[in-house]
Structure formats: C-alpha cells, structure tokens
Amino acid sequence: MAKKVSKYVPYLLVAPALIYLGIFIGYPMIEGIKLVFYENGGFSLATVHRAINNYYFWPALKNTLGLVVIIVPSQLILALIFALAMNKVFKGRNVALTLLIIPMTLSDIAAGLIWYSILSPSGFMNKLLLNLGLIHAPIQLFGYQFHTREFIMLVFVELWRSTVTIFVIVLAGLQMISQEYIEAAEVFGAGYWTRLRRIIIPLLKPSIQTALLLRTIYAFSIFGIVWVLVGRDIPVLAGEAYYQVTQIKDYGVGAFYALLIAIMSLAIGIVYLKLTKAEYLEVRR
Amino acid sequence: MNEKTMHELRKIGFYTFIFIVIIWMGVPLLVSTLYAFGVPDEYYNPHRIIPFHFTLKTIKMLLFTLGGWNALKNSVIVATLAIIISFALGLPAGYSIARFIFPGKDTIKLGMLALKIFPVPIMAVPLVMLYIRLHLIDTRLGVALAHSAGALPLVVLITASIFAGTSAELEEAGMVFGLTRFQSFLKITLPLALPGLAAAAMFTFVGSWNEVFAASVLTFSHRTLPALMLTLMQTAPDYYKFAAAFIMAFPAMIYVAVARKYLISMWGIALK
Amino acid sequence: MVEVKLENLKKYFDNGRVKAVDGLNLTIRDGEFLVLLGPSGCGKTTTLRMIAGLEEPTGGKIWFGDKEVTYLPPKDRNISMVFQSYAVWPHMKVYDNIAFPLKIKKYPKNEIDERVKWAAELLQIRELLNRYPAQLSGGQRQRVAVARAIVVEPEVLLMDEPLSNLDAKLRVTMRAEIKKLQTKLKVTTVYVTHDQVEAMTMGDRIVVMNKGHLLQVGPPTEVYLKPKSMFVATFIGAPEMNLMEVSVKEMQGGIVLEGEGFNLALPADLGELLRKYIGKTVIFGIRPEHMTIEGVSTLEHVTRAARIEGVVDFIEALGTDTIVHALIGDRLIKIKLPGHIPLPIGEKVRIVIDLDNIHIFDKSTEKAII
C-alpha cells in the first residue's frame, strides 16, 4: 500500500495547482485568441489591423520596451548592492531595512502619487531649490512636451518603488550561502571583489534568476504608475489595452495588446532561462 | 597605519551610502504624508516648503464621500483571499517539484515558468466575458480568483526554490527518527523555509494589493483601492493626490510597523 | 614551511564575559604536525581561526616566522585550510575547486593543470576532476578539500576537525593518509580535534586545551605517560585513568597511601615527593593498562610493583583485550588485560600495580605531583 501511494504522491501534490491554472489561464488565453482573430464566425485579421494602425500603438510599443531595457538591469545591480550592504551588521541597519521594505507594500499608484509630492511644480524639490536660490522658476517635469523628462522620471520612481522586490529575494538567497564557502575563498587568497564574482554571485544565481524573471514580467505590463503620473503622455501597451477595454469597449484590440505583452514576456523568459540555468543544481547524485 | 585609515575610510563611505539610501527612501514618504494633511493653500504657496497648518478635510472627503473606505476594505479582502488560495494550491506543488524526481517534472517546471510570464492583463479581458456568465463580475471573489491565478505559478516556483535550498538530508533525518514525510516537512523543512516562504507570502499580498488592471477591468462598484484611485486621480486637484497616496500607504505603514519586528527578526535570526 | 608563534593570544566575546582563548603562548615548529586537542568550547577552533585570520584577536600577537601577522587578512597569510564541512564550492567542478587557490595567485595555466592533477593524484580523486561536488560522497568531498589545501604550497596548513563528519572506517583510513601526506610535504600543520585517538596517532606534539587555556604541550607519549594535570590525565586514554582519593600517612618510616580498603606503600624516592602532604588527601591515579591480575595475566617491563586486594564486579570482553571492573572496598576500578580473560564475577583477585606508572594529583590544584 505504501509504495502505491508514494508513486502518485508527487502528482497528487501538483495536480490542484495545475487544474486551477488550466481553468484560469488556459481558458482566457483561448478566449483572448478568439477575440483577436475571430470575427463574425470566421478567421479575420481586421482586429489586428485596427490594433496596429492605432495612432498610439507604435509609441506604446517603443516606450514599453524602452522602460524594460533601462529599468530591469538597473534594478538588479541596485538590489545586489543593497543586499550585500544589508547583509552586514551595522548601526542603523534596522532603520534602513525598514525603509527599504516600505515601497514593497505600496501600490504603484501610491508610489507615483507619493513622488508627485516631490516632483510636481509645487512639489518639495522645486520649492526647496527655489528657496535655496538655485533655480528661478519651478522645473517642469510634467506635460506632453517634456517627453524625455517624463520618461526619466518614470524610471527613477519605478526604481524607487520596485527594486525592493528583487532585494528581498537576493538577500534571502545571500543568507542561504554558507559562511564557510566565503571563508574558504578568503583563506585561499580571494579579495572582496573576487569573492563576489567567483563565489557569491554564482551561488546567488537561483535567486537572481527568479527575481529577474519576475521583474521583467511586471515591467512589460507597467501601467498604474505611468497612468497616474503622466497619463497617456507616455503611452504604454498595458495602458492602451486598458483604455481600449474600458473606454472604447473594443475588446478585440485590447486583447491584441494584451497578447502582445504576453508574447514578448514569453520570449524574454525563454532567453533568460537559457542564459542563467545553474547547471550544478540540476545535477543528480 | 595605512591599513587602518583605509578601514576607516571604507567605514565612512559605507555609512554615507547608507545615509543616502535612508534619505532617498524616507523623504518622499515624509513629504507626501505632510502634504496629505496640509492645508491646500499652503501647498500652492511657493514659499512654504512644508505646510505648517494641517487639516483632515481632504482625507475625509476621499474616504467617506468619494468611496475610499469601501475600496480599502475590498482591497484587504481580495488580497487575503489571494494568499490563501494560491498557497493552498502552490505550496504542495512547489514541495513536490523540489523533493521528488518524477517523469514530467521538468515539463511542469517549464510550464510554471512559462505561465509565470503570463501577465494579468490578458486574463482580465476575456475573463470579463466568463465572469459575466458566472455572475462573478464586480465581485471581490472574482478579483481574488484572478489574482490567485496570477500569483500561483510564482508561488510554486519560489516555494520550489526555497525547498530546494533546504537540504533533503535534514528531512530524511527526521524520517529516520520516526516522522512521516509530512511530519518531517512540518517540523523540519517548514521552519527552515519560513523566511523564504514569508517573503513569498508578502510578495503575493503585495501583488494583489498593487494590482490595478484586472481590478479595474473586472469591477465597477466594488472597486479595490488602486482601481478607485486610478479613476479618481485623473481629475482630482493636486492635494487630493497626496491624500490618496497617504490612504493607500497608511495600511502599508501599519503593516510594516507591526510586522517589522517579525520581518527584521526573520532576517536577524538568519544572520546570527 | 614556517614557525608559528602565538604570544599571549586572547579572544574574548560578549564584552569580555566569554573568554574563549585566554592568554595562549605556543610555538609551533617548522614542519611539525601539531594537534590542538580539547572538548567543545575549549578554544581550539577559535585559536585556529585566529591563526587563519578569520577571527581578530582581542589581545596578543601571532607570528609567522619573523613576520607579525596578527591583523593580516587571511588572503595575505599564505595559508591553507580544510574546513569541518569541507566548504567545497558547489557551483564549481572539482577541478575548479582545487585550481581556485592557484588561479587567485595567478599561476600560469599549465602549471595550474600540473598541480591540480598532482594534488588529485595524491588524494586519489583523479577520476573525479570533472564532476560537481553534489555528485560526490562526503568522503570524496573531503579529499577535494584536502587536495585544494595542498595544491598551493602554503606556509601553514590548518585543519578544523576535518574527519569528524566521516564514518568511522573512513576516518581511520584518512587519518593515516593525512599524516603520510603531511610527512611527505613537510608543511607546518595545525590540526584541531576533540578526538584523542586522532591526536595520539597523528600529532608530533599535542596541545591539550580546556576553557581557553593551554594545559599541556608535548609529544603524544609524554602527554599520555606524564600528564601534568587531572584533566589531561582523564581526557587522554581509553578507558579513562582510574582516580581515587587517598590519604597520605607515614608508617614505619615510609610513606603509605591509605585508600578505602587498601594500603599502598610507596618506594622511598616517590614517597619523598609526598612529604609535604602527610596528613592530607591527594588523588591517586593509575591507568587500566598499568595494572594486572596475579595468576591470570602478567605485566611486562615492571620493575617495581605493589599489590592490593579486590573483587571482580564485571567483565568487558572486547576480544583483543578484557576490561575487568574490580571493587576495591567500595570503589570500582578498571583493569585492562591483554587477550581474553574470562574471570568469574565475585572472584577475589590480587591486583598488581606498576609503581613506575602511578600518578598523584594535588586535590585542589589538580596538578600532578608524581
């Protein structure tokens, strides 16, 4: 009896999750494809045409890709630095740690609004600089004409908000590294940077892999923070999907944009997988 | 004594870095909170860097006239449901992947990774159709179910990597001493995995709490906080924005203040 | 190949409340295999880590030859270390693990290859070079750790209980191998263990430590036969040395040890040493193998002996030896006899004591008088 049970146990444990996902992701996926490619009972590319020829489409695509390319690597490096720093014991570590954790609990809308208090024309930054005499008129960061500034601002605020999510995973992974591994490297002549490069980072690969994958997905569907800070000045794919679904009620076009996000994410995900696969974890005894 | 001065310099550099981080992280929170309570006139006054006079009017308006309070309640309910559902389904799956070697395991793992990449937006659009049919549209359960589906692959993978990180030998030692695999899991692996699992749970909660898209698309009257604020803020004057930020951030602050000891001792314990 | 000198070495924790190492003075000779022996918490590992540079001393100095290294980071000390759980990096192949110290020190590529293969050959792990640590057994990983430690020629080789995670049989094999290796390489080695058998079989000299203090240092035979304190006497040797309280009396011009149920007359030269203790109690010690039972076994090389009466209480038949538990009065002592001697329980026996191997300890200081 025991042997029979143990053979199926792995499958039994995995089954509920798989079934749930099948329903909640599989079905909408199919529906989504139907919405995009099916019109009046037959295969049609009309929706696709509408979607691509939309005035906002290409800017949205460019912006979304641009944001991902800039934000994700920067976040990784920043998170690594934070994790290495927080791994030591020092005075004020509790304060720093608490503050770092806070953005993790904020919605991206809240983060955007919080930073608005600093960056707005009547915001903290402007008032401070004005009263210190460093500028004569408020620096305008918002407005359709300030495309570059708005873009940089988005990157900056998003870094503030979501670097933590990588930080938490990397720190947990860092602590799982046995101190002896690092001491051995020290004894055998490795300085700090060598230890970092040869021992710590390779052993962090599983954590980094998880974190990177996560952040890239989120970054591709970046929406709330853009919408609340700059509105449609900087169109992004998810924003356009939202707009189409809720305002225009064109479910097909909305689904198309959403599908595009999914495909791009998938492609990048596969690339990541191939690049960061940690061979030694897969090796069986 | 060159070694010593280098050591001191490094220390100063380190603490400067920490100081900058603290300022960067803390000042926006401080400022936005002050502005949230500040009298609107002082906000528009270019000579008042920080307001001196405070009022509760803006916040009250947001909460009670504009529907903020209800939205807050909705957010909490949805996020909690999301954790329960996704962990109940995901933890066993993650454990199975980490501990057992069985045919199809790699496919499942790959599948989870692929699904994890699947973002919420695409689900929300066709999900609207399904929900209308199932009368789940505009319900908190509906949003929670959608959030759980989004969180599930993540939970499976994170728990799998956490369990993979804790040695199977420790569990086997437990089994040698008379525990069943399940008991061994509960008494040995689970406590060891707790820091990582807590991180995963926090993650899921945040994911649901932050989630704007699906929440906005799937509801109209039972909106979660972010969904409500999204539409409100498009037309509101500046000072409402800070009040909105405060309302959304305030529960987060409480959470961090209360759970801080636990959170930090979690890291602290792992460090000692 | 260097002499290591520890000068008044101290390590305190918790603001001075925990004195892990308290004033250690020791010179480790060039090329010797020195064992730091003691129970857990005695400070041996802390001492090793200070020699390695992994812990900063609270006080005192450490010298490698004529260079003071007290605060030098480990990487500048030209040392190697074998850690208790081996610390073999899981993400690198065995080859890369062993090659690591060489790569860091920027050895030319072909020399790295040569040395790695040489070290692997010495440790008999040549076929494992291309594998990952996860694919190896504990014993194999341990060999990798040792190979990695010898591949660069370190000035000092440090080992932190490297055999404690191995199964018993492997431990015996590895003991011999490590010792042979060290003899061949002639590198100054400091070896930490709590296992006195390891210490006795491997060390050129043994340092017995307890509570942060050095109790005795000397070659194994010296520490074994001439322990300077009760702790050392009982820590080394299995079964443990027999200890009992006796009073020192003067009888008929000679010194006699009066114990429970027996009297032991001491020869003149030994008795002299106890003159100061007449009328007081001291601790009398004798190792199980320095006694025998008249009629059933003999003790070789005994020049002077004394006899006391006892009753057999229990027999441990080990095959190669027999441990006889005998009652002297109310006291139980153990006597080790070679071979298989099945004595009946309750039998009255005459115990012969080798007087040249008795030990007397001061009751309060626990230091050896004889």
Enumerate residues 6+ apart whose C-beta is below 8 A from A86.
A93, A96, A97, A100, A167, A171, B267
Spell out the per-residue pLDDT of chain C, length 370, in tens. Answer: 689 999 999 999 888 888 889 989 999 999 999 999 999 888 899 999 999 999 889 989 999 998 899 888 898 898 999 998 889 999 899 999 999 999 988 899 999 999 999 999 988 899 999 999 989 998 899 999 999 999 988 999 999 999 988 888 888 989 999 999 999 999 999 999 999 899 999 999 999 999 999 999 999 999 999 999 999 999 998 889 999 888 888 888 788 888 887 888 888 888 888 888 888 888 999 999 999 998 888 888 888 888 888 999 999 999 899 999 999 888 899 999 998 888 899 989 999 999 889 999 988 888 888 7
pLDDT of B255 strictly over 80: no
pTM higher than 0.80 for the full model? no
Q: What is the dihedral of CA C37, C43, C48, C51, to 10 degrees?
A: -130
Report yes or no: B152 at the A interface, CB cutoff 8 Å: yes
3-class secondary structure, A210: helix
Domain assignment present for B122:
yes
How are beta strands C321-328 and C305-317 bridged, if at all?
antiparallel
Domain count, chain A: 1
Is residue B55 one of the residues assigned to a domain? no
Q: How far is A189 from chain B (nearest CA, A)?
A: 17
- Percent of chain B whose predicted confidence (pLDDT) is above 90: 3
* B119 and B35 in a common domain: no
**In this complex, do B233 and A109 lie within 8 Å of one another by their Cβ atoms?**
yes
B122 and B13 within one domain: no
The CATH class of the C242-362 domain is mainly beta
- Report ipTM for this prediction: 0.78
Same domain for B72 and B35: no
DSSP 8-state assignment for residue A145: T
- The answer as to whether A33 is a domain residue is no
Assess whether B22 and B119 both reside in one domain.
Answer: no
B53 lies in some domain: no
Chain C positions touching A185 (Cβ under 8 A) are: 89, 100
Q: Which residues of C touch A (CB under 8 A)?
A: 52-54, 73-75, 79-81, 83-85, 87, 89-92, 100-101, 104-105, 132-135, 148, 152, 158
User: Domain with B208 in it: what CATH number?
Assistant: 1.10.3720.10
CATH match for C4-235 among 3.30.450.20, 3.40.50.300, 1.20.140.10, 3.40.1690.10: 3.40.50.300
Interatomic CA distance for residues C206 and C223, integer angstroms = 7
- Sequence-distant contacts of C271-279: CB under 8 A, at least 24 apart: C273/C360, C273/C369, C273/C370, C274/C248, C274/C360, C274/C369, C274/C370, C277/C248, C277/C369, C278/C248, C278/C249, C278/C250, C279/C247, C279/C248, C279/C249
Q: Classify residue A9: in a domain, yes or no.
A: no
C-alpha to C-alpha distance for A250 and A243, rounded to whole angstroms? 9
Domain for residue A212, yes or no? yes
Cβ distance A184 to C81 less than 8 Å, yes or no, reads yes
Point out which residues pair with C327 in neighbouring strands.
C311, C332
Candidates A5, A13, A14, partner chain B, best to mutate (most B CBs within 10 A)? A14
Chain A positions touching C51 (Cβ under 8 A) are none
Using the Cβ of B71 and the Cβ atoms of chain A, whether some distance falls under 8 Å is answered with: no
Can you give chain C as a three-state secondary structure string?
Answer: CCCEEEEEEEEEECCCCEEEEEEEEEEECCCCEEEEECCCCCCHHHHHHHHHCCCCCCEEEEEECCEECCCCCHHHCCEEEECCCCCCCCCCCHHHHHHHHHHHCCCCHHHHHHHHHHHHHHCCCHHHCCCCHHHCCHHHHHHHHHHHHHHCCCCEEEEECCCCCCCHHHHHHHHHHHHHHHHHHCCEEEEEECCHHHHHHHCCEEEEEECCEEEEEECHHHHHHCCCEHHHHHHCCCCCCEEEEEEEEEECCEEEEEECCEEEECCHHHHHHCHHHCCCEEEEEECHHHEEECCCCCCCCCCCEEEEEEEEEEEEECCCEEEEEEEECCEEEEEEEECCCCCCCCCEEEEEEEHHHEEEEECCCCEECC
Q: Which runs of E-coded beta strand occur in chain B?
A: none
Q: Which domain holds residue A91?
A: 38-276
Q: Do residues B149 and B39 share a domain? A: no
**Nearest CA-CA partner of C83 in C132, C49, C125:** C49
Other C-beta atoms within 10 Å of B103: how many?
A: 8
**Residue A46 lies inside a defined structural domain of this protein:** yes
Q: Both B119 and B171 in a single domain?
A: yes
- Specify whether B156 is located in the same domain as B85: yes
Q: Is residue A214 part of a domain?
A: yes
Weakly modelled stretches of chain A, pLDDT under 50: 1-4, 284-285
Together in a domain, B90 and B195 = yes
pLDDT at C119: 92
DSSP states along A92-112: THHHHHHHHHGGGGS-HHHHH
Q: Is residue A105 part of a domain?
A: yes
Interface of A with C (CB under 8 A): 178, 180-181, 183-191, 194, 198-199, 202-203, 205, 278-280, 283-285
For B76-123, write each residue's pLDDT tens digit.
Answer: 899 999 999 999 998 888 888 888 888 888 888 878 876 766 666 567
Other CB atoms within 10 A of residue C248 CB = 21
Residue B54 maps to a domain: no
Smallest Cα distance from B210 to chain A, Å = 4
Asked if the structure places residue B189 within a domain, the reply is yes
Statement to judge: residues B157 and B267 lie in one domain: yes
Neighbours of C298 (CB within 10 A): 12
Would you list the domain boundaries of chain C? 4-235, 242-362
pLDDT value for B121? 57
Residues B105 and B24 in one domain: no
- Beta-carbon separation of A202 and C91 below 8 A: yes
Q: Is the pLDDT at B65 greater than 50, yes or no?
A: yes
The model's confidence at residue B266, banded by pLDDT at 50, 70 and 90, is: very low
Q: Has residue B267 got a pLDDT over 60?
A: no
> B216 is in which domain, residue-wise?
65-271
> What is the distance between the alpha carbons of residues A258 and A244, in angstroms, rounded to a whole number?
11
User: How far apart are alpha carbons B77 and B147 in whole angstroms?
Assistant: 12
Q: Which chains touch C (3 or more CB pairs under 8 A)?
A: A
Considering only alpha carbons, which residue of chain B is nearest residue A171?
A: B267
* Contact call for residues A234 and A226 (beta carbons, < 8 A): yes
Regarding whether B186 and B267 lie in a shared domain, the answer is: yes
Same fold, C4-235 and C242-362: no
Task: Give the mean model confidence (pLDDT) for residues B124-137.
Answer: 77
The whole-number pLDDT of residue B118 equals 66
- Does one domain contain both B194 and B250? yes
| Nearest chain B CA: its distance from A219 CA (Å) | 10
Q: Which of A28, A106, A268 sits opposite B123 (nearest CB)?
A: A28
